[in-house]
Amino acid sequence: MTAVLVCGTDTDVGKTVFAAALVQALDGCYWKPIQAGTADGTDRMRVAELSGLGRERVLAEVYCLTTPCSPHRAAELDGVSIDVDRMVPPTVDRPIVIEGAGGVLVPVTRDCLYADLFSRWKIPAVIVARTALGTINHSLMTIEALRAREVTITGIAFVGDPQPDSEATICEIGKIKRLGRLPRLPKPNTSSLREAFAANFDLADFRA
C-alpha cells in the first residue's frame, strides 16, 4: 500500500487542495485524523467534493472538533481528551493520503506535536509550501523539524504563483526534491484540479 503524508509549512498554504489533487491522481483514500473547526464544513467534505471520489474513500476523522484552532486547545474547549494511541493510519486496499493540520509543530495534545505523531507512523512526508513571502523560512524550519524526528521526506510541493528563486533556494539549502508547483485555481473543481496536477507533477514521485 502506498501511503503519503501531506503536511504543511503553516495553515492555509493550500494543503487540503493539494491533498485532494493527489488522492484523485492516485485513485486512493483520504484521511485526516483530526478536524478542528466545522462552521464552514470539514476538510474531508472539501476533499470529497474536489476529488470526485466516493464518500466511502474519504475516511472519517478520529476527532472532529468545533473550534478552528490548534487541536490541543480545540479539544479542551470541547471537553474532549485526545488519545494519541487512537490515531493509527487505517489499512486500506489502495493508496492513502493522510493530511495533517497547520504546520508540523502544531500541538495535537500538550505532550505531542504533529511532527511527533508523524515520527511514530514512519510514513514518507510531502511538504506543501506556499510560494508567498516568508516561505523560505517556514519551509526550511519544517524540513529541519521533520528530519530531527527521522521522518522521511519525499519532497516539497509548492502552491501559488511561480517564484523560481525562492523555490530553488529552499530545495538547495534544504537538500530536498522539488516535486512541482500547483497553481492557484480561483474556483477549483474536479476537472481543473486533475488537469493542473497532471501538468505540474510526476505521479511516480509519490508511489515510491
Quick: pLDDT tens for 56-69: 999 999 999 999 99
Beta strands 112-113 and 107-109 are antiparallel
For cell 480561483, what's the residue? 186
Which helix or strand (DSSP H or E) is residue 36 part of?
A: strand 34-36
Give how far the C-alpha of residue 96 lies from the chain's centroid of Cα atoms, to the nearest Å: 12
Helical H segments across 52-176, by residue range: 71-78, 114-121, 135-148, 164-174
Mean pLDDT by 10 residues, the chain (208 residues): 92 94 97 94 94 93 96 97 96 95 95 97 97 96 98 97 98 98 93 97 90
For residue 50, the model assigns a pLDDT of: 96
Question: pLDDT (tens digit, 9 = 90+) per residue, 148-167?
Answer: 999 999 999 999 999 999 99
Distance CA 55, CA 49 (A): 9
Query: CATH no. for residue 157?
Result: 3.40.50.300
> Full-prediction pTM beyond 0.75?
yes
Q: How many domains does the chain have?
A: 1
For 178-193, give the secondary structure using H, E and C. Answer: EEEEECCCCCCCHHHH
Active-site amino acid positions: 32
- How many percent of the chain have pLDDT more than 90? 92
Question: Where in the sequence is the domain holding 59, given as residue range(s)?
Answer: 3-206
- Report pLDDT for 1: 61
